[in-house]
Amino acid sequence: MTYTFDIDPLVVLGLPPDASMEQIRDAYRSRSKKYHPDLGGDEWAFRILSRSYEILCRARVAGRCAAEAVRQEPSMPVVDPVVPRAERDAEGASVRSGVKDRVDHPIQLIDVELLLLRLEVENPYEVIGMASSDRNLSCNLDVAWPSALWGDGEGGPDPGRILAQVEAAFAATASGSRPTSSWKDEGSSSFRGWLSYPSAQACYDAFNQLRRELKARGLGVHQRIRELIIPRESR
């Protein structure tokens, strides 16, 4: 099942109904400095902010195109722009691809999934003012090697050497990022492990650290981000 909520982009950006494109851009840039994940903000709040900016910009562009169409051909119908929907898996989680590093061979890629479990909110504007640690039920960094992109598993660098490098990078990240819990399974030809954190920001910070550790060893990440909203009545 998919859980969604409506967003009033004008309220999110603090704008009047007749705001100009310049006002929309200025409001978005101002709030981005506070909520952008790279600047210490929460990723979910920034997504709401970015979505609001996208909706308003699309509406302004569509409005201008409609006005121009009316001037050129009064009888021409105006079609609302199509806004793409997020992909969802069988559990109803929102899924999107993240970064994919360039490597010499697919065996050097490590699958890293950020799994964010959030509690459903009744008012989406609560997200903006809520502490990042209160927005999540669980934030996990799931690490798997070899990557699903490896294919037939033939050729490339020595798998044993890469496995040792993955284990070392995971251990360094676990030591430096202070997860609330962790688990790993070091097989003879594969690696599986996860690190759990109290907030999305801490999880993203850990991902960046893991990526640095892997890149220092000549490896790369194939990232995927899953976000699952848990309805309140199920708690």
Tens of pLDDT, residue by residue over 6-35, are 567 788 888 888 888 888 888 888 887 777
* More reliable by pLDDT, 72 or 187: 187
* More reliable by pLDDT, 217 or 59: 217
* More reliable by pLDDT, 62 or 77: 62
Query: Which of 1.10.287.110, 1.20.1050.140, 3.40.50.740, 3.60.15.10 would CATH assign to domain 9-72?
Result: 1.10.287.110
Interatomic CA distance for residues 139 and 141, integer angstroms: 7
**Cα distance from N-terminal residue to C-terminal residue, the chain:** 16
Long-range residue pairs from 65-68, CB within 8 A, at least 24 positions apart, any chain: none
The residue extents of the domains of the chain are 9-72, 87-234
Residue 116: which pLDDT band, with cuts at 50, 70 and 90? confident
Residues with Cβ within 8 Å of 143's Cβ and at least 6 positions away in sequence, in order, are 110, 111, 112, 166, 170, 191, 192, 193, 194, 195, 210
Tens of pLDDT, residue by residue over 178-203, are 998 999 987 788 999 999 988 878 88
